[in-house]
Structure formats: C-alpha cells, structure tokens
Amino acid sequence: MNSPLLTDHTLTFLPHRLNRQPVVVHGLTADELWACTGLSALVGLAVGAPIAWIARSVAIAPTTMLIAVAAGIYVGGGLLRRHKRGRPDTWLYRHLQWALCRRFPGLARYLDGAGLIFYSGAWGTRRSQP
C-alpha cells in the first residue's frame, strides 16, 4: 500500500485545490456572486425607480431589480468565466487592483498597489546568445 508520507514525514503530493473558493453558481465563486448580485441590483434599482415613479407603482422597482439580478448572474457569470479561463485563481482580484491603481493613482496606497508592476513593454531575460 502506498502511503502519502515519506520516511521523513513529508507529503508526496501537493493538494492544489485545497485553498480555492468553490464555484457556487454559473462559474462564479461566492465573492464574485455577491459582487455581481450587488452591482446588478443597483443597476435594476437605477432603471426601475424612475419607471416606478412614472407609472406610480412601487412594485416595479423590486421587479426590475429581480430581473436585473437574474440577468446579471447569467451574463456576468458567463463573462467572468470566459475572462478567468486558464488564469490563476487570484488573477481577477489582482487585475481589478491593477486597473484601479492605474486609473486612480491616489488610491494606490490604500489598495496596496506599491507592489504592482506598471511597466508595459517587452521584457528581456538577458540570456540570449550574441
């Protein structure tokens, strides 16, 4: 019988899925699902509130919010799944951090952006033969 421990009590395998967030709905993790739901609800409220005010019916605002959340999870899940395909687990969060620090440099110290690389261009390894 093969034991996962060697004689020096080290593991012979590395569990790479141990610290990953599980996929909850439509390719979204729990954090991504909450963000997608919140943004979709805000969009639904922004669209539904004026319509509810014009139609003089309060029920239109929550209905448009519900429809926007369902559409946002479906569309947002598909878009995020397509963008995250083949990338590391933390890519989305680092990409958002990079984009915010690049667009709003004043926020960089609050978003821990000091360690990010903002260089855009060709990188060289200096290992080429002359």
Rg of the chain in Å (alpha carbons): 23
Encoded tokens for 109 = 């110290």
Is the pTM higher than 0.95? The answer reads no
Residues with pLDDT less than 50, the chain: none
Q: Which of 42, 60, 36, 40 is nearest to 50 (CA)?
A: 60
What confidence tens digit (pLDDT) does each residue in 13-43 have? 666 667 677 778 888 888 889 989 999 999 9
Compute CA distances 92 → 7, 28, 32, 48, 64, whole Å: 40, 12, 10, 30, 28
Q: What is the pLDDT of residue 11?
A: 63
CB 68 within 8 A of CB 62: no
Lookup result for tokens 């890519």: 91
Amino acid residing at 23: V
pLDDT of residue 58: 92
pLDDT at 56: 94
**Every domain of the chain and the residues it spans:** 23-84, 88-115
Cβ 12 vs Cβ 6: under 8 Å: yes
